[in-house]
Structure 1
Amino acid sequence: MKKLLAGTLAAMTVLAVAGCGSPDDDAERSGTPGAVPKGSSPQKPVVPRAGQQQVPPAFDGAKGWAVMQSERLDRPTVAPHSKLVLFLKTHADGKALGVEARDAATGAVRWSSAPWKPSPRPAEFRAEDAELVVTSKDGKDYVVLAATVQEGKDAINRGKPTAHLAVYSADSSGTGVAPLHQVTVPGTDSGAIPHDTDGTVAVETRDGMTVVDAAGGTTRSSRGKSTPEFMLRVRSVTYPTLDVADVWTGRQQVPTGAVSQDGMDKGVAYGVRGGYLVARWPSKNQDYTVSGLAMNYVWAVHDERTGKPAFSVKCDGLTDALPAGGEADTLLSDNGRYLVNGDVAFDLQAKKGYCFGETESRAGVKFKGVDNSGTAYGAVTTSGSAGPVALDLATGKPTELDGNVPLPTRVTGDVALYEATPVNEKDPGAKPATHAILSVYPRR
């Protein structure tokens, strides 16, 4: 499961190297990143500026901030309600971890945690395997730092895998912030899977999963790996597609305009975000291309608690949730209103769906993100070629971007984030400070 999660993260950052430019380019465009101008207070270090870049027109490529590789910060994670970008910090000796929270607009440090040791014995955990996730409830964000500890590991014994989690409030302040709660989940080496709206994270165990409530620090166990909750929380992450009938066995959850064959639901679920499951269903007017590809699907968002369709949209032509890499990315805007998945999009508030798959008269679009205003960013795909585009979901009006404009790794609130691969992943501090691993640009 960890490899799959890591693969998903890698797929999200594939466009980012072009977005951040080379270390030399950054130094030429913005001066020496990280340098403190004369007269600046040493107590308030200046945030390194991001290199000037071509970005989508809604953002300002001349104004931005950056995180340098030498800062030993990685795994950027967004707290949507707090307008923070959070980082997992690896302390220099590799024996302790931490969290650093930056203002999304300016890059200023809002707060940082005290060094956290998942185990007093460094041999029992690996810092590079730690995770940082965010879960939210009632407009409040919680930050969860998770690491697998092989308890009892030594030169001979492999140890018993146990998940250790430290939970922080995203609205903390100051330095040396202590966890609200520390939780251990024995019998697992799986990662933490956050929920968008119920303030929990789930950890897969041998028997099922354990759900951790971030606000209270309490846990509950859900036994069985064929329960709806397990499949939605775990299988939707580890296996990008599953049948709706497997989640809600024996129930008819067929949306209007879709078909059900032989009493079995044929909907395929692609992802779960914002309290909804996204599924694709064969349409009553199902047809095929000359090459045998199925067309004309009904796409629906189902209530994750009951499985009932909340609303659906009939899409003519070719629509597919899977990008070229083969894994589905179900992406939610920070305000929880807009959701995109492959070449379909949904306005969860207005209860409308939008289709941007390929037809005889129109190219397809594969989405990479969506902002709070309903502008989605993606790549136009026709005959194997791809180009970037910004698209207003409500009007369907596209804005073609220059081919040199890289799509953001993520659009969050009022900023666009571009991630870049570290020059030396094994030792983040080994290369010059001028290499930016993240560049963040504000809206104009």
Structure 2
Amino acid sequence: MRQKIVRLALVAGVLVLALLFLLATCGGGGGRDDGGAKKPVKKSTGPATQLPVPPAYTTQRGWELIGTSPDYAVSRTTGRLAFLVRATGDQYRLRTIDSETGRAGWSGEKWRPPAVKHFPKLLTLATDDHEYFVTWSYGKIGENALTPADTIVSLDVYGVENGTRRRVDVPWGSVPTVTTTGPGILISDGRTNSVVVAPETGRITKVPATSLKYPKGCASCRQLTEVRGLTSKGLLVSGAREFWVQGGWFSRNVAPRDADPRSGIPTSVAPGLVLAKWKLAEKVKGAAIHDLWTVHDAETGKPLASVACHKPAIEPGQYPQAVVSASGGYLVAGNLAFDLSARKGHCFEDASGAKSLTLASVTDDGTAYGATSVRNAADVLAGDGFPVKAEVTAGTTDTLPSNVRVPSADGAEGVGLFRWTDGKDRLHLIGYPRAE
């Protein structure tokens, strides 16, 4: 009898161990953080959400996050992806994963931003020595704030390696523009007043309009003056028709071939790069109906690649934001695409000059994704329009099936990032690797 009991106990123990092993290999349900976003779980069958995607990607592997912030940020040096989740009360938390495997990385402490109703914005910043994730929010200090002096831009700066955090609060009396295209965090009022925050120390440097160092002999530089970005040499500033780096290069002296040197306008700034629109010189064929678009090196002003494109019937109120591939070899913006290594540009338009194509992302192998019949890149990533794949080096396009979702980005690790909103209005961020 005793032997029978022992045998039964052994069998029960084996069954329990087998059940525990099965649960472990199946992911155990994935768990949730305190903000409700599911932690990524690696499954042999791929993420639960199976979107129709371009054939370059597979949905049979990858990871999925649910209920995250609209913004995410990817470190180019580590491949780490950061996102925000809602924590208890009015608090938020920054979390990270490995963008290739979906494995959880470091997680920041909870904090309460001044604007609690909306997710803080999330950016990346690279200096010569380090890379950072930066969150920012703008709002009132305390419940009884009455004047502009009671409002701040609240910054949290995280080292991408281990999540070390620095809080910097900057008094700011107007709606801010915050960018991280250079070695510091630039806060601007969209005109001539700005401050630069050093990520290593949190030091705040005010840059008044009087210190913008207007180029000598440039009357248009003092008209419609606007701080556009930051380089290691100083602020990038534009006037009505020309632009310059504070104490550095001047657009008139670095104008691309065939351009009117007194006509440059920067339309978008990315880390290390400036996309500018120029008028063609009068002697150039087609000058009356074309503009010249050029990508410049932000540190030197040197033109890297150019392309002529038909002038729009009506100038847009806002130009497309430049998007750069993970390694920096390709840039797309609206219907423009540039192969910076080959120093070639393409303008995707029909014979009449209509610009129906809008590109939203580009991979390290020069494949760009976008759509036709949309207003902007946000519409593309929302699934609107008719999806298109473009080969930047060849300057060719191919239509994709109408239900395909295109990636919002593609990392150096070969994982495409896809956005989707479900029926419960929850944002999904999904990583599908490239097909082998």
| Alignment check: 8 A CA contact 1:319 1:357 kept | no
Residue 310 of structure 1: aligned partner: 303
Q: Supply the AA of the counterpart residue of 1:443.
A: R
Residues 337-356 of structure 1 correspond to what in structure 2 (within 5 A)? Answer: 337-356=329-348
User: Alpha carbons of 1:190 and 1:84: their partners in 2 closer, same or farther (altered >3 Å)?
Assistant: farther
Per the TM alignment, residue 244 of structure 1 is displaced from its structure 2 partner at its CA by: 4.5
Q: How does 1:142-221 map to 2 (within 5 A)?
A: 142-154=132-144, 160-172=150-162, 177-179=163-165, 181-188=166-173, 190-191=175-176, 193-196=178-181, 198-204=182-188, 208-221=193-206
Task: Report the Cα offset of residue 213 of structure 1.
Answer: 1.8
User: 1:186: Cα distance to partner?
Assistant: 1.2
Cα deviation, residue 353, structure 1: 2.3
Mapped partners of 1:102, 1:250: distance in 2: 41
Structure 1 residue 209: Cα displacement: 1.3
Q: Deviation of residue 216 (structure 1)?
A: 3.2
Q: Residue 337 of structure 2: SS of its match in structure 1?
A: strand
Aligned residue in 2 for 1:53: 51
Q: Deviations over 1:309-341 (max 9, x none)?
A: 423424265689989x95412111121221111
Deviations 1:399-435 (A, max 9, x none): 431122122233333222222347667xxxxxxxxx5
Report if aligned partners of 2:244, 2:251 keep a CA contact under 8 Å in 1.
no
After TM superposition, the score normalised by the length of structure 2 is: 0.71
Alpha carbons of structure 1 residues 91 and 60: separation in structure 2 relative to 1, 3 Å = same
Structure 1, 225-234 or 414-423: larger mean CA deviation? 225-234
Determine whether 1:299 maps to 2:293: yes
Moved more, 243-252 or 44-53: 243-252
Pairwise CA distance, 1:101: 0.7
5 Å matches for 1:260-275? 265-275=262-272
Structure-2 change in CA distance of 1:329 and 1:51 (3 Å): same
**CA 1:171/1:254 → structure 2, altered by over 3 Å: closer, same or farther?**
same
Residues 190 and 102 from structure 1, CA distance in 2 versus in 1: closer, same or farther, beyond 3 angstroms? farther
Q: 1:369 and 1:403, CA in 2 relative to 1: closer, same or farther beyond 3 A?
A: same
Amino acid at match of 2:292: V
Given that 2:243 and 2:265 are in contact with CA atoms closer than 8 Å, whether structure 1 keeps it comes out as no
The answer to whether the aligner puts 1:283 opposite 2:276 as a matched pair is no
Shift of residue 135 of structure 1?
Answer: 0.7
Alignment match of 2:228 (pick from 225, 232, 250): 232
Partner of 1:291: none
Deviations 1:251-289 (A, max 9, x none): 4543211235xxxx223321011322211223244649x
Whether the 8 Å contact between 1:300 and 1:309 is mirrored in structure 2 is no
Q: Which has the larger radius of gyration?
A: 2
SS, match of residue 420 in structure 1: strand
Q: Amino acid of the residue matched to residue 274 of structure 1? A: P
1:51, CA displacement in angstroms?
Answer: 1.4
2:207 matched to which residue of 1? 222
Partner of 1:138: 128
Whole-angstrom CA distance in 1 between matches of 2:51 and 2:308: 36
- Structure 1 residue 129: Cα displacement: 5.3
AA paired with 1:128?
Answer: H
Partner of 1:30: none
Alignment partners' CA distance in 2, 1:152 and 1:390: 49
Partner residue in 2 for 1:111 = 106
For the pair 1:420 / 2:417, whether they are aligned, the reply is no
Alpha-carbon distance between aligned partners in 2 of 1:303 and 1:58, rounded to the nearest angstrom: 31
Higher RCO (Cα < 8 Å, 6 or more apart): 1
CA distance in 2 between counterparts of 1:74 and 1:299 reads: 30
AA in 1 matched with 2:278? W
Aligned equivalents of 2:69, 2:251: Cα separation in 1? 47
Matching residue within 378, 394, 398 for 2:370: 378
1:64 corresponds to: 62
- Hey, what does 2:221 align to over in structure 1? none
Identical positions, percent: 24
The structural deviation recorded for 1:61 is 2.6
Specify the code of the residue in structure 2 equivalent to 1:222: V
Does the 8 Å contact 1:153/1:159 carry over to 2?
no
State the match for 1:392 in structure 2. 391
User: Which residue number in structure 2 is paired with residue 259 of structure 1?
Assistant: 260
1:10 matched residue in structure 2: none
Distance 1:117 1:169 in 2: 19
Bigger CA drift: 392-401 or 105-114?
A: 392-401
User: Number of aligned pairs?
Assistant: 367
CA-to-aligned-CA distance 1:364-397 (integer Å, 9 cap, x gap): 6321111112111122469xx9532222222234
Do the aligned partners of residues 355 and 396 (structure 1) sit closer, same or farther apart at CA in structure 2, a change above 3 Å counting?
same
Q: Which runs of 5+ in 1 are unaligned?
A: 1-35, 119-123, 235-240, 289-293, 426-434
One-letter amino acid of the structure 1 residue matched with residue 95 of structure 2: E
Match for residue 406 of structure 1? 405
Give the Å deviation of 1:110.
Answer: 1.0
The residue type paired with residue 270 of structure 1 is T
RMSD after superposition: 3.8
> Any stretches of 5+ residues in structure 2 without a counterpart?
1-20, 32-38, 42-46, 215-224, 231-237, 375-383
